[in-house]
Amino acid sequence: MIAVPQKQIPGIYHRRIGDIVVTAISDGLMIPDHTMTRNLSEDELSRALASGFRRRLAFSVNAFLLRTRDRIALIDTGSGAYFGSATGHVLENLRAAGVAPEEIDTVLLTHMHPDHSAGLTDVASGSAIYPNAELLVHENEPRHWFDDAQMARASDLYKRIHFQYTREQVTPYLDGMRTFSGGEVLPGVTAVELAGHTPGHSGYLVESGGEGLLIWGDIIHIPEIQFARPEIVMVPDLDPGMAEASRRRILDLAEQERVLVTGAHLHYPGFGYVSRENGVYRYHPEAWKQEW
């Protein structure tokens, strides 16, 4: 009998930036049960997706492993066990990349939303999945998500998904958490302020050997729509106007500097470039690199 594959190959893809090897780690695919957009009708969304040969809205969820000569760092941790079997694959793909969670010495979060921070802690045991890691995050993230007054003003759904889940995941790391307001956070890694989606939403510019990579977190959720229409904002954007302004600013920077970019929700593995033609941004996925 012919063996029929039951799953994809491991979701790992390497990209060298100078002396730093960045590995895109797939957490899987998030399929929301509503549009997730604030200012785009369901009909408009469906038409835009159909024009891109997509039947429904689904987000890639990506994390990024950074290996230098003396560090192993992870940017974002995926969704853990909170959103079903379609996501939560960071750990298995880390192992496929040859890295055990105990080897991670630093976890950097772009922000504290559950598809980025919910892979920090084992839900069943309450123990840290990365026991030897220092947690790095912008100072405005814990300031917001651990604020009881902010939590009291949120809807019941947001209290659970954003505040409760975040607190469950981050608490085991509080004694080893370091916050920043900007600047270089690790050798060769500089924080980039991208507030709006959350108060401390941050990207990370990785630079080595004259090369650069901008890991921009949640600047883009729906590539088929938000490159051409950066005014489209998402339901989880805490400050939609600021989120749009951050998106336009970073798209401008990426286009002008011709810097390689990647993000948590660009289609895996998600490395590419931004151009602008007749005032409209376009995304150009980078060709597969066999040698990194």
Number of structural domains, the chain? 1
Reply yes or no on whether the pLDDT at 181 is more than 90.
yes
Structural domain contains residue 3: no
Structural domain contains residue 215: yes
Structural domain contains residue 6: no
Banded model confidence at residue 33, pLDDT cuts 50, 70, 90: confident
Task: Give the mean pLDDT of 245-255.
Answer: 98
How are strands ordered across the β-sheet holding 260-262? 183-186, 189-193, 202-208, 211-215, 260-262, 272-277, 280-285
Amino acid 224: pLDDT:
92
Structural domain contains residue 20: yes
Q: Which amino acid is at 36?
A: M
Reply yes or no on whether the pLDDT at 6 is more than 90.
no
Structural domain contains residue 127: yes
Q: What is the DSSP letter of 61?
A: E
How many angstroms separate the CA atoms of 12 and 288, rounded?
12
* Domain extent at residue 56: 12-285
How many angstroms separate the CA atoms of 189 and 208, rounded?
9
- Express as a percent the part of the chain with pLDDT over 70: 100
Give the number of C-alpha atoms closer than 13 A to the C-alpha of residue 27, restricted to the C-beta side: 34
Distance spanning both ends of the chain, measured CA to CA: 37
Give per-residue pLDDT as tens, 149-161: 999 999 998 999 9
Give per-residue pLDDT as tens, 80-120: 999 889 999 999 999 999 999 999 999 999 999 999 999 99
Q: Please name the residue that has the structure tokens 């029929």.
A: 4
* Cβ-contact 249, 61 below 8 angstroms: no
Banded model confidence at residue 1, pLDDT cuts 50, 70, 90: confident
Beta strands in 194-279, from DSSP E residues, in sequence order: 202-208, 211-215, 260-262, 272-277
Amino acid 5: pLDDT:
87
Structural domain contains residue 290: no
Give CA 98 to chain center in angstroms: 21
Banded model confidence at residue 8, pLDDT cuts 50, 70, 90: confident
Give per-residue pLDDT as tens, 168-178: 999 999 999 99
Reply yes or no on whether the pLDDT at 34 is more than 80.
no
Task: Give the mean pLDDT of 50-59.
Answer: 88
- Greatest pairwise CA separation for the chain in angstroms: 61
Across the chain, mean pLDDT equals 95
Amino acid 42: pLDDT:
87
Amino acid 35: pLDDT:
78
Structural domain contains residue 128: yes
Structural domain contains residue 7: no
Reply yes or no on whether the pLDDT at 205 is more than 80.
yes
Amino acid 178: pLDDT:
97
The CATH number for 64's domain is: 3.60.15.10
